Amino acid sequence: MELLAFLLFISIFLLILYGYPVAFTLGGISVLYALCFLDPVAYTALPPRIMGVMSNYVLLAVPLFIFMGIMLERSGLAESLLETMAMLFGGMKGGLAISVVIVGALLAASTGIVGATVVTMGLISLPTMLKRGYKAELATGTIAASGTLGQIIPPSVVLVLLGSVMNVSVGQLFAAALLPGLLLVVAYVIYIVILAKLRPESAPGMPHEEILAFRREHFWSKVLKAFLLPMTLIIAVLGSIFAGIASPTEAAAVGALGATILTVVQGKFSWDVLKTVSRETTHLTSMVFIILLGATVFSFVFREMNGDVYLVNLIRSSNLSPMAFLALVMAVVFIAGFFIDFIEIVFIIVPVVTPIFIDLNIDLLWIGVLLGLNLQTSFLSPPFGFSLFYLKGVAPPGITTGHLYRGIVPFVLIQLLFLLIVILFPGVIHVFLR
C-alpha cells in the first residue's frame, strides 16, 4: 500500500510534467487509485474533508489580496512611484536599477501579485533603462527579480497558501517573513551598487540637467504624493496584522477596500475597471481553488495509503539528520521550480513533507519562510519562470530570451545564498514575531 502511495505521487508528477491540467490530474488520478485500491468506506470521509478546506476562513484572504493587487495595478500608483524613485536615485551609477528594486519592494508590500508588478515595471522602466544605456541583462534581471519580491514580502498569496497547507498562523508567517524579505531587498541593492562600481558602463546615471528639471517644480509634493498613498495602504494592511487588530483575512478586506479608494483618489476608477478587476480576480481565485480541491483529494488518498507514515519511517531508518532532510527538501523544491508552478509545489510537495518536519520537531514557521524564499526562485528559473514570460511579453523587440536568462542568473544566486543564510541563522525570522 505504501509503495502504491509513492506510485500515485510519481504518476501525478510525470503527468503534470507531460502537460496535463494540474487540478484534474491531482484529483482524477487520486480518485482512480482510491477506487482501485482503497476500501469504499474510506470515501465517506472525503466530502467533509473537502468542505472543511473550502470553508477555511483564512483562505478567504486569497481572493481579497488578489483583488487588492490587481486594483492597485489599475490605480497608476506604480507609474508615479517609479518616476519619482528614478529621479531620486537616477543621478548615481545604478540609480535606476536601485529605484526599480525599491519600487518592487513597495509594490510587493502593497500587492503581492507578481504578474502585475513585473508587467507594470517592464512597461515603464525597461525602455527607460535601455535608453539610458543600461546593459540589457542587468535591466531585465533587475525587473524580473524585483517583481518576485511579492512572494516573500507580506502580504503574500504564497505565504497564505503555505500557512493553510502547513496549518500555521498566517499572521505569524507574515511577521516571520518580513525581515528576510527586506534583507533580500538590501542584498539586491548591494549587488547593483557593487556592479555599478566595477562596471559603470553597464549602469550609467541619468543626466544631471534632467534631474534638476524634475526637482525644480513641486519636488517634495511629488515625492510625498508618490509615497504617502502606498505607504498608507501598507501600514493599514500589515500594521493591523502585526498589531493584533485584525486577522490576515480581515486585513485583506481592508486592503481590497483601500486599493479601491486609492484608485478613486487617482481618478482611475470606473465601472469598466471594476468589472475587469473582478473578472481577473475570479479567474485567478478559481484557478487556485480548483487546484486546492485536487490537492485535497490527493492528500487524503496519499494518507489513506499510509504514504506519510511510510515517509516518516523511511527518514527515521535512513538516519538522516533534520538538517540533511531539510537540505533534501530544499533541493527538491528548487529543482521542481524549473518545471512546475509554485501553486503545484505548495499543494503537492509541501503536504507530503510537513508531517516529517513535525516528527523531527522543526519549527514550521521557519520552514514556511524557507519555502517562500525557495519558491520565489521558481518565478525566475528557466524554462518556465513566470516572471520571464511576463517580462518577455512586454519587452521591446531587441530583448531576447537569452538576455532574460543571463540577466536573472546573478539574482537567483543571490536568492540561493540568502536562503542559505536564513538556514544558518534561523533567529532572523523571530525579530517581528510577538
Check the CA dihedral 369-375-381-387 and report its sign. Answer: negative
Check the CA dihedral 331-333-336-337 and report its sign. Answer: negative
The whole-angstrom separation of Cα 217 and Cα 165 is 51
C-alpha cell at 417: 545564498
Answer for the pair 181, 149: CB distance below 8 angstroms, yes or no: yes
Number of H-type helices and E-type strands within the chain: 21, 0
Answer for the pair 342, 158: CB distance below 8 angstroms, yes or no: yes
Cis preceding-peptide flag for 155 (omega within 30 of 0): yes
Task: Count Cβ neighbours within 10 Å for each residue of 109-124 and write b for 16 or more, e otherwise.
Answer: bbbbbbbbbbbbbbbb
Query: What value, to the nearest 5°, has the Cα angle with vertex 54 and ends 307 and 39?
Result: 40
Nearest CA to 83 among 184, 209, 225?
225
C-alpha cell at 352: 507530503
Which pLDDT score, from 0 to 100, does residue 434 have? 64
The whole-angstrom separation of Cα 104 and Cα 112 is 10
- Phi, psi (rounded to 5 degrees) for 270: -155, 170
What's at 304, amino acid-wise? Answer: E
Number of domains in the chain: 1
Which pLDDT score, from 0 to 100, does residue 106 have? 81
To the nearest 5 percent, what fractions of the chain are helix, strand and coil?
Answer: 80, 0, 20
The whole-angstrom separation of Cα 284 and Cα 66 is 8
Sorted by sequence, the CB contacts under 8 Å of residue 367 that are 6+ apart come out as: 166, 326, 354, 357
Helical packing angle, 271-304 and 22-37, nearest 10°: 30
Answer for the pair 233, 44: CB distance below 8 angstroms, yes or no: no
Q: What is the DSSP string of 346-383?
A: HHHHHHHHHHHHHHTT--HHHHHHHHHHHHHHTTTSSS
Which pLDDT score, from 0 to 100, does residue 50 have? 79
3-class secondary structure, 91: coil
Answer for the pair 5, 305: CB distance below 8 angstroms, yes or no: yes
> Where in the sequence is the domain holding 243, given as residue range(s)?
2-430
Indicate left, alpha or beta for 381 from its phi (over 0: left) and psi (-120 to 50: alpha). Answer: beta
Answer for the pair 211, 90: CB distance below 8 angstroms, yes or no: yes
* Residue pointed to by grid coordinates 494540474: 22
Answer for the pair 279, 24: CB distance below 8 angstroms, yes or no: no
C-alpha cell at 184: 533580500
Locate all alpha helices (DSSP H) within 235-306, ordered by sequence.
240-242, 248-265, 271-304
Q: Over the chain (434 residues), what is each successive 10-residue block's mean pLDDT?
A: 80 78 82 85 78 77 82 75 73 82 80 69 80 87 87 84 88 90 92 89 76 68 74 82 82 87 86 91 83 80 79 75 89 81 80 87 93 87 72 80 87 92 90 74
The whole-angstrom separation of Cα 160 and Cα 165 is 9
Q: How far is CA 163 from CA 24, 158, 199, 354, in A?
A: 23, 9, 42, 11
Answer for the pair 154, 177: CB distance below 8 angstroms, yes or no: yes
